[in-house]
Amino acid sequence: MSARTILYVEDNDMNRKIVRDLLKRTTYNLIEAHDGEAGVALALEQRPDLILMDIQLPKISGMEATRQLRAAGATANTPIIAITSFALSGDEQKAKEAGATAYLAKPYSPFDLLNLIRKLLPET
């Protein structure tokens, strides 16, 4: 069985580096996009096994990107973890209404993120 692929859609270079470094110690392959529009395009092209979706993104928001991915047949059932640094009351509910499988507020522990990824997508 081949390694599973995770798409990380995040506009902040440092946040992408942190997740990249975290996943280096796992069997997951990581692909990255720097905005919502590129994230949707890459997800439809590459069909990752799981998507980490920042909510505050340029071009289109993570919420809108999640809605578009849920509407597309190829990614309708792909697990999506919504990640936000502006956790406000009701955000988790809004993310789930947009189609997110799970929700994580920044700052988060890398251990918590990895546990959530492994829960939704066990390593091979």
For every residue of the chain, DSSP letters joined together read -PPPEEEEE-S-HHHHHHHHHHHHTSS-EEEEESSHHHHHHHHHHH--SEEEEESS-SSS-HHHHHHHHHHSGGGTTS-EEEEESS--TTHHHHHHHHT-SEEEESS--HHHHHHHHHHHS---
pLDDT at 22 (0 to 100): 94
pLDDT below 70 — which residues of the chain?
1, 86-89, 124
The residue ranges of every structural domain in the chain are 5-120
CATH class of 5-120: alpha beta
pLDDT at 84 (0 to 100): 85
pTM: 0.93
pLDDT at 86 (0 to 100): 66
